[in-house]
Amino acid sequence: MDKRPVKINQKYFKEFFSVLFGVMFALFIDTMWSNHEHSVLAEKATHDILLEVKENHDKMDSLITRHEATQKKIRHLIKVIEEELDTVNVDNDLSLEFELIEDTAWETAQISGAVTYIKLEKLSKYNSLYKMQALYLNFIEKFMEHSFTGMQLLTEREKLGQMDYFIENTLMTEKRLLLQYEKILEGKK
């Protein structure tokens, strides 16, 4: 067997390394551009989430005021019923008002993959806020189902008692959500 050194043509050698360098440089540029696009996506998602949090904060603040007034009215009606007071001048028209608390920006950030590029500390705050929001909406939905099905056979006093209990729990959750909104909004400054 003949063991002669293989001669490589210098022209091919240079061309091989030129192509290799070109490909590596193109991959480097592509990575840099992708990182830039991802950071822009994360910034846009964060901006949209913060706008949504501000809107939800304003809605929640308004809801708390209305729910506190409703709770006061419910408790007055309970007192009227329990003490058998004169009901001539008593306004017994009750309505529970709720507004849809948005989560569109959060859902969009998840679907687009922007959450992958948001810093973990912010992401954790947003995630816990939106989970609490989901629990709040679920709680309201369950009460509404119950009010249409389970409250039909109750006395007026029992209905008011359940509404008072519901409003009390709703207010606690709404106040917690309001605090969460404020923490997130303070963190953006």
> Global pTM?
0.77
Domain boundaries, the chain: 11-187
pLDDT computed for residue 155 by the predictor: 84
Residue 136, pLDDT > 70, answer yes
Q: Is the pLDDT of residue 15 over 80?
A: yes
pLDDT band at 53 (very low <50, low <70, confident <90, very high): very high
> What is the widest separation between alpha-carbon atoms in the chain?
119
Mean pLDDT of 140-161: 83
pLDDT at 17 over 90: no
Which is nearest to 103 in space by CA: 145, 45, 168?
Answer: 45
pLDDT of residue 181: 95
d(CA 79, CA 91): 13
